[in-house]
Amino acid sequence: MDMIVYINHKAISIFKGAIVLDAIRAYSAYSLKQVMNGKLFIMDKFGNITDPDGPLLEGQKLSLKRKQPML
């Protein structure tokens, strides 16, 4: 049985027991590469940075944010 999570407001159907990176992979291979290269980070609905290897819960809402360049 699958569950639904949201990344940048897009519903993603993913297997139960998946981790955050599995959902990012299902969302976009390009975004996954950007996360792995440290160019994007993952935030939960409260604005907290989420670990890529963290567990997913049904209905969880995540967003991908671009890291700001250092001045």
The model's pLDDT over 7-45, given as tens digits with 9 standing for 90+, comes to 999 999 999 999 999 999 999 999 999 999 999 999 999
Look at residue 29 in the predicted model and tell me its pLDDT. Answer: 96
Find residue 66's DSSP bridge partners: 40
What topology does CATH give the domain 2-66? Ubiquitin-like (UB roll) (3.10.20)
Grade residue 68 by pLDDT with cuts at 50, 70 and 90: confident
10-15 sheet: strands from edge to edge: 10-15, 2-7, 61-66, 40-44
pLDDT (tens digit per residue) in 42-54: 999 999 999 999 9
Number of Cβ atoms within 10 Å of the Cβ of 42: 21
Decide: 1 and 16 in contact? Cβ < 8 Å: yes
Give the start-to-end residue ranges of the domains of the chain.
2-66
As given in the structure block, the two tokens for residue 65 are 């944010």
Decide: 11 and 22 in contact? Cβ < 8 Å: no
